[in-house]
Amino acid sequence: MRKFSVLNREEDISAAVEKHYDLIVVGGGVTGAGIALDASSRGLATLLLEKKDFASGTSSKSTKLIHGGLRYLKQFEIGLVRETGTERAIVHHLAPHLVHPEKMLLPIVENGTFGKWSASIAISVYDYLAGVKPEDRKVGLTTEELLEEEPLVKAKGLNGGMMYSEYRTDDARLTMALVKAAVRHGADAYNHCALSDFLYQDGKVVGVRCIDHVQDREIEFKATHVVSAAGPWVDQIRALDGSTGGKSLHLTKGVHIVVPHKRLPINHAVYFDAFDGRMMFAIPRGRVTYVGTSDTTYAEDLDRVLCTRADAEYIIGAINNYFDVPGLGLEDVISSWAGLRPLIHEDGKSPSELSRKDEIFEAPSGLISIAGGKLTGYRKMAQRIVDLVISRRAPSNSSKCQTASLSLQEPTYPDYAAVTQHIESLAKEMKSTGLEHYHAWYLVTTYGRDADLIWSQVSEGHGAENMRSLLLEAELEHCLASESIYYPQDFLNRRTGALYFDIELVNQFQNQVTTRLGQAFDWSSSELDRILEATIQETKDCLAFLNE
């Protein structure tokens, strides 16, 4: 199989412009990547285009949960909860190294969103709709039992709680796994390739015109069908096509902050009430705990969405209101992210009341757009789009969706126990080098089976700090050869997660990473300076609120 690398860009795109695709997908987030995999696995000649990096929009800035959305039961979104609840186990099976079982703790407090009986009934319905196995279904906890599980929860007003099953993921890595799986099934996929216009014939869309930011040139691709899965940018693309009639998007901003786990050392993911009645998540992940999300209407720059001081103070206030962590303040925040939810506008509804259902728009030009939905529902959203595309074909192709059984990595793991065994065996190998168990956990839960390939490229070093540098170099070479990185933040954010979960690593090695990529892509000294400056700025943006 050809290497999925920007190093092959010129040759690959020269071949692509000569093709006629069945389907072009605009938008390289989880929805677009899911569509590309579904379409290519059904035999459609498919091209996926992303204007920045894969998962650089909403799909790297979610709460990073594969869940059905318990609170949507209160909005009577039964169909949505059933569909996404069922999808959790499917996605866990498809990528067990990326989708981790997570026990979620729901404390019950006086005058909270959920009372004891309403929580018990809601989670029972949730478990039923999602087809949760008996051993994983909810467990009721007394106040004493809950505090034993999670001592940091404030006891005042506490009235027991519930423990139930969810799944945690790395959204950007899940998106990358989908893109790579689509490429394995014959799709072409290019990041840093921005749509500038559509190509038309007799009033119908027959292709796209793009700016390839890697080669700094305009190119055209031709196709029978074009789908926009551009998330928050869907309305902009519909406007480019002149097809903005009907429903429109309502963008809301969701913010998460990251603190060292030692400052919020919770044992489980906790679903809790903020002081204003909104529900929030606090989720431990390796050496950190992240907390969110806010939910506010957004109408500013779609390409630079930041956590503001007010956002951070809101989340810190919610933490201090619910957990016994004296002195937690803005100075404890080590990183943050802010993303946009492309929801469907409904008059008179607040951001938190808007439906998370997806919506498909069909334009007179033939352009198909999809927006809304949840990370967990990406596969079913993709299936609906590809079914629609196939229904337009003459003669119709009757191939059915196969993605419920297509593993996202080859070779994959038979089950989650094999993932944990891989972590433990790798940790034993690393122990003599001075690296910690954390590094084995990180490598396997980031790269899956490719962790062994990366580790095999790490030469012997002296001391843990030097070994971490060598490990990073091996990761960088792997991603350069196999994961279509071009800019430093493609690697330091979307491929490794370091920008959010290990920002000190970014500060320490961003110069080194930029220099290596400059060598690979023959950047001039002025290009190198410009790209390094942009990299440093993106890192600073994670804590920009401290300077407001």
Task: Compute the average pLDDT of residues 183-199.
Answer: 97
Prediction pTM value: 0.95
Position 421 pLDDT exceeds 70 = yes
- Parallel/antiparallel/unpaired status of strands 158-169 and 139-141: antiparallel
| pLDDT for the residue numbered 76 | 57
Distance CA 483, CA 6 (A): 8
- ∠ at Cα 158 (153, 159), nearest 5°? 130
Question: Per residue in 40-49, pLDDT tens?
Answer: 999 999 999 9
pLDDT the model gives residue 3: 82
Given a cut of 90, whether residue 472 has pLDDT beyond it is yes
Tokens matching residue 459 = 């030469």
Give the pLDDT of residue 348.
Answer: 64
Residue 25 has pLDDT above 90, yes or no: yes
For residue 72, what pLDDT is reported? 64
CATH number 3.50.50.60 given to 6-58+172-248+355-392: yes
* Phi then psi dihedrals of residue 447, to 5 deg: -115, -5
Fold of 96-168+250-353: D-Amino Acid Oxidase; Chain A, domain 2 (3.30.9)
Outline where 255-377 has alpha helix (H).
309-322
**Among 388, 396, 356, which residue's Cα sits nearest to residue 372?**
356
Q: What 3-state class would DSSP assign to 534?
A: helix
Residue 83 pLDDT: 76
Whole-Å CA distances, 491 to 173, 218, 277, 297, 534: 11, 25, 38, 30, 14
User: What confidence category does residue 77 fall into, taking pLDDT thresholds of 50, 70 and 90?
Assistant: low
Say what the pLDDT of residue 430 is.
92
pLDDT > 80? residue 346: no
pLDDT tens, position by position, 308-342:
999 999 999 999 999 999 889 999 999 999 999 98
Per the prediction, the chain carries an average pLDDT of 92
φ/ψ (deg, to 5) at 260: -60, 140
Read off the pLDDT of residues 87-122 as tens digits, 9 standing for 90 and up.
Answer: 888 999 999 999 999 999 999 998 887 888 888 887
> What integer pLDDT is reported at residue 253 of this predicted model?
96
Over 60: is that where the pLDDT of 178 sits?
A: yes
Instruction: Output the CA torsion sign for 64, 66, 69, 70.
Output: negative
User: Per mean pLDDT, which range of 195-204, 288-297, 420-429 is the poorest?
Assistant: 288-297
Cβ atoms 123, 70 nearer than 8 A: yes
**Residue 394 pLDDT class (50, 70, 90 cuts):** low
The 3-state secondary structure of 386-409, one letter per residue: HHHHHHHCCCCCCCCCCCCCCCCC
The neighbouring-strand residues paired with 370 are 360
Instruction: In the chain, count H helices and then E strands.
Output: 17, 18
96-168+250-353 shares the fold of 6-58+172-248+355-392: no
Looking at CATH, the fold of the domain delimited by 416-547 is given as Helicase, Ruva Protein; domain 3 (1.10.8)
- The domain spans of the chain are 6-58+172-248+355-392, 96-168+250-353, 416-547
pLDDT digits (tens, 9 = 90+) for 270-299: 999 888 878 899 999 999 999 998 889 999
